[in-house]
Amino acid sequence: MKTIVEYDAKRRPCNRYPKKIISPPSPNRCCLKEMRRIGEVQVEEGGLPFFYKRCPRCGYTVREFFPKGLDGFLTLEGFGSNDVEEVLKGFGQRGLLIELAA
């Protein structure tokens, strides 16, 4: 599982998306309300769509994967038809249909 996030307690958090993100190793209280989507929807090698979420206050960053299937994808807040098109391109329509049927 490849990621651009490097967790390091000694280094200062840094957002160099899409190349590299340095993040604290664990979330803080601010992360409960502050996490924001950064960058575009991406598709992992295994076919799972995800995006990075980062707390602008402390720099904690994670990858958030979409629930399996297009229905779960559409229910996430802040995502619309353009995001669906991105995921369809990433899966390939045939691959997405296979995933949805599983």
Q: What is the pLDDT of residues 7-62, one digit of tens each?
A: 999 999 999 999 999 999 999 999 999 999 999 888 877 778 889 999 999 999 99
Looking up tokens 């399996």 gives: 68
pLDDT for 2 beyond 70: yes
The rounded distance, in Å, linking the Cα atoms of 72 and 25 is 28
Instruction: Record the tokens describing residue 70, joined without a space.
Output: 């297009």
**The pTM of the whole model exceeds 0.85:** no
Is 12 in a helix, a strand, or coil?
coil
- Condensed to tens digits (0 to 9), the pLDDT of residues 63-95 reads 988 776 555 555 454 555 455 555 555 555 444
The rounded distance, in Å, linking the Cα atoms of 83 and 89 is 10
- Residue 77: partners with Cβ closer than 8 Å, 6 or more residues away: none
